[in-house]
């Protein structure tokens, strides 16, 4: 497996594990401490986090199959950035960060969409 594909799969696996940890923390550690609205934000962050960790895993496997293409690597970078910005900002907002941080969330969403777009291009060019 090319080193870049191996790194993508490794980061995707760690991102997935972190998503499970944060999901469990929200369900067990934050249930009594956050409002229902904040818990809903947390849950949304976890869902997007985990789904896009899986998408990043797919990008890594595609990068293994298509080592000459830059699209799977670009997809992985955008998906990671999207999780960090989208889910990260929602996690922070749920924990009481200033509402101004919510301006970052759509940027993360755009990165996630662009990551899926890169996957589509990679599949089209395969």
The per-residue pLDDT for range 69-115, each reduced to its tens digit, is 999 999 999 999 999 999 999 999 999 999 999 999 999 999 999 99
Identify whether 71 is part of a domain.
yes
pLDDT confidence of residue 121: 97
- Look up the domain containing 69 and give its range: 3-11+22-125
From CA 3, how far away is CA 80, in angstroms rounded? Answer: 17
Q: Is 118 helix (H, G, I), strand (E, B) or coil?
A: helix
Identify whether 17 is part of a domain.
no
pTM of the entire structure? 0.96
**C-beta atoms surrounding 71 within 10 Å:** 21
Identify whether 97 is part of a domain.
yes
For 29-77, the pLDDT digits (tens) are: 999 999 999 999 999 999 999 999 999 999 999 999 999 999 999 999 9
Identify whether 69 is part of a domain.
yes
| Cβ 31 vs Cβ 39: under 8 Å | yes
From CA 77, how far away is CA 91, in angstroms rounded? Answer: 20
Identify whether 46 is part of a domain.
yes
pLDDT classification of 2: cutoffs 50, 70, 90: confident
Identify whether 16 is part of a domain.
no
Number of independent structural domains in the chain: 1
């Amino acid at each position: 497996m090319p080193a870049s594909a191996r790194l993508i799969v490794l980061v995707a696996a760690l991102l997935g594990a972190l998503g499970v940890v944060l999901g469990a923390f929200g369900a067990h550690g934050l249930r009594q401490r956050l409002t229902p609205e904040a818990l809903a934000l947390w849950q949304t962050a976890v869902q997007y986090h985990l789904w896009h960790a899986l998408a990043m895993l797919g990008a890594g496997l595609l990068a293994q199959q298509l080592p000459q293409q830059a699209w799977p690597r670009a997809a992985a970078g955008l998906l990671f950035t999207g999780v960090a910005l989208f889910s990260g900002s929602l996690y922070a907002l749920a924990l009481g960060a200033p509402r101004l941080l919510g301006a970052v969330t759509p940027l993360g969403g755009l990165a996630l969409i662009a990551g899926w777009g890169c996957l589509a291009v990679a599949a089209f060019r395969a």
